[in-house]
Amino acid sequence: MTAAAALALPGTARAADTVGYPAAPSRGNGVAVPFEGFVGGGGGPAPVGGAVGVDLVLGSTAQPYLPCQHYDQRSRTGDTFVNACQERGSYATFTRFPAGGALVFPHGYFLGDTQPDLVRGGTVNTGWGARAAALSFEFYPEPGRDAEFVHSRFYVDRFTRHANGWTYSADVGRIPLRARTDPGTAHFGGRLTVGGRPPAPGRVSITVFGGSARSSSGYPLSSFAASTGTGAPSWTSTPLYAGSHRITVVDTTTRRQCVLDRLDVRGDTTVDFDLALPGFGHPEGSCTG
């Protein structure tokens, strides 16, 4: 499995650095999330393997800075501590797991103040555990099963309980994997054209965030989907949780971007786009560029 690119939060700031954010020494060893991993719909072993990527957020939820996404592949420069990121330019950690295996984090997920230097060797004192404003978890099914399962995500930005030398968030527990055919899911698809013709491969990117579900402990979950135009005159999302969604369409040729909201979506829903039309065919949307 190759690591997927992290999905940046809307309005993510990039012009900063870890060392510009204060630390909270009262956190002890760092922050911890009581999240064990993924299970089947009935609570049994996960029916599919996959990976969970974790975005580290500094600053605040309103003005986030993601140090591991602050990286320039061409110049190989970025955040002071980018070498501690398991996926430079993407996630702080990216953990793979097999189908039917044990829980990914049976004792919870822990982010300390010291990480391995994955480029030069040794360790680096990042202070990330003390500086963390939030952690965002995103699930990817294994290759070949991508279109079958909801890509779940959740976000924690409160670390208040001190125990065993760590500062914990609320209990997340386990996330039952939900398939496209399960109740409480949604799916988007439709035509994707430019003046009625198929766009060139790679010209269009579409991301969807939204939906609503709960973990085993009742912690709120949402979902996401990301796709890039293949050159076909159509697009399709991976499964999502039912609920309200925000669709963002980017025309990489013109650099125009349009955002469209859809409320209370359940089941299969058709949304067509034509890049040659105002709002890509949806004048009610919000566009820039």
State the Cα–Cα distance between residues 155 and 143, nearest whole angstrom.
24
Instruction: Assess whether pLDDT exceeds 90 at residue 241.
Output: yes
Please enumerate in sequence order all residues whose Cβ is within 8 A of that of 239, keeping only pairs 6 or more positions apart, or say none: 147, 148, 149, 150, 151, 178, 179, 180, 185, 186, 187, 223, 225
Section 58-83 average pLDDT: 92
Confidence of residue 6 (pLDDT cuts 50, 70, 90): low
Phi, psi of 159 (to 5 degrees): -125, 105
Structure confidence by residue, pLDDT tens digits, 87-107:
999 999 999 999 998 799 999
Structure confidence by residue, pLDDT tens digits, 211-231:
999 999 999 999 999 999 999
Confidence of residue 7 (pLDDT cuts 50, 70, 90): low
Phi, psi of 99 (to 5 degrees): -65, 140
How many residues appear in the chain? 289
* pLDDT score, position 9: 53
Instruction: Assess whether pLDDT exceeds 90 at residue 42.
Output: no
* pLDDT score, position 48: 95
What is the dotted CATH code of the domain comprising 180-289? Answer: 2.60.40.1120
Structure confidence by residue, pLDDT tens digits, 165-211:
999 999 999 999 999 999 999 999 999 999 999 999 999 999 999 99
- Residue 269: CB atoms within 10 Å: 15
Please enumerate in sequence order all residues whose Cβ is within 8 A of that of 162, keeping only pairs 6 or more positions apart, or say none: 26, 28, 168
* pLDDT score, position 186: 97
Domains of the chain, by residue range, sit at: 1-178, 180-289
* pLDDT score, position 76: 85
Element (H or E) spanning 128, and its range?
helix 128-131
Section 108-125 average pLDDT: 96
* pLDDT score, position 234: 97
State the Cα–Cα distance between residues 204 and 228, nearest whole angstrom.
6
* pLDDT score, position 8: 54
Section 251-274 average pLDDT: 96
Query: Residue 285 in contact with residue 279, Cβ under 8 Å?
Result: yes
* pLDDT score, position 41: 83
What one-letter code names the amino acid at 142? E
Nearest to 47 by CA among 97, 93, 1: 97
